[in-house]
Amino acid sequence: MITDTSRSLFAKAYGIAFRDVAWTGGLYRERFETVASVTVPHLLKMFEGKELSHVVENFRIAAGDAQGDFEGTVFGDGDFYKWFEAAVYTAVKTGNAELLDRLDDYISLFAKAQQPDGYLSTKQIIGEKQGKGPMRQGNINDFEVYNMGHMFTSACLHYRLTGKDTFLKVAEKAAGYLKSLYEEAARTGEVKTAVCPSHYMGLVELYRTTGNRDYLNLAHLAIELRDKVKNGLDDNQDRLPLKQHRKIVGHAVRANYLYAGLTDLYMEEGDADHKAVLDAVWEHLTTQKMYITGGCGALYNGASPYGDFFSHQLVHQAYGYEYQLPNITAYNETCASLGGVFWAWRMFLANPQASYMDTLERMLLNVNLAGISLDGRKFFYENMLERAKKLPYRLLWGQERTEYITSFCCPPNLARTLAQTAEYAYAVDNEGVWTGLYGASRARFSLKNGAAFTLTQETDYPWDGKIIFTISESNGVPFRLRLRIPAWADKAELSADNNTAFPKAGEYFDLSVSRPQDFTCALDLHIAPRLTKANAMVEEDRGRACVEAGPLVYCLETPDVQEAASLKDLLLPVDPRFTPEDIAVEGRTVRSYITKLLCRPTADTGKESLYRPLEAGAPYPVRARFIPYFAWDNRGMGEMVIWIPLAWREV
Structural domains of the chain ordered from first start: 18-424 (1.50.10.20), 427-524 (2.60.40), 529-647 (no CATH)
Give mean pLDDT, residues 40-45.
Answer: 97
Round to whole Å and give the CA distance between 333 and 97.
34
Angle at the Cα of 205 (from 334 to 405), degrees rounded to 5? 25
E strand intervals along 201-284: 250-251
What digits encode the pLDDT tens for the residues 410-430? 999 999 999 999 999 999 999
% pLDDT > 90, the chain: 87
Q: What pLDDT was estimated at residue 111?
A: 98
Lowest pLDDT segment from 13-27, 31-45, 388-402, 520-534: 388-402
Q: What pLDDT was estimated at residue 396?
A: 80
Q: Does position 615 have pLDDT exceeding 80, yes or no?
A: no
What digits encode the pLDDT tens for the residues 537-582? 999 999 999 999 999 999 999 999 989 989 999 999 999 999 999 9
Round to whole Å and give the CA distance between 247 and 478.
43
Of 89 and 517, more confident: 89
Residues 6+ apart with CB under 8 A from 423: 1, 2, 3, 15, 18, 21
Cis, peptide link before residue 134, omega less than 30° from 0: yes
Exposure pattern of 197-218 as b/e (b: 16+ CB <10 Å)?
bbbbbbbbbbbbbbeeeebbeb
Q: What pLDDT was estimated at residue 385?
A: 98
What digits encode the pLDDT tens for the residues 213-265? 999 999 999 999 999 999 899 999 999 999 999 999 999 999 999 999 999 99
What digits encode the pLDDT tens for the residues 370-390? 999 999 999 999 999 999 988
Q: Which range is most confident: 113-127, 185-199, 300-314?
A: 113-127
Beta bridge partners of 532: 546
pLDDT, the chain, mean: 95
Element (H, E) at 222: helix 213-225
Lowest pLDDT segment from 78-82, 137-141, 157-161, 268-272: 137-141
Q: Does position 650 have pLDDT exceeding 80, yes or no?
A: no
Angle at which helices 334-350 and 354-362 cross, to 10°: 160
DSSP string, 81-147: HHHHHHHHHHHHHHT-HHHHHHHHHHHHHHHHHS-TTS---HHHHHHHHHT--PPTTS-GGG-HHHH
% pLDDT > 70, the chain: 99
Q: What pLDDT was estimated at residue 605?
A: 59
Task: Look at residues 103, 113, 100 and name the one whose alpha carbon lies nearest to residue 63.
Answer: 113
Round to whole Å and give the CA distance between 573 and 597.
7
Q: What pLDDT was estimated at residue 603?
A: 63
Q: Does position 651 have pLDDT exceeding 60, yes or no?
A: no
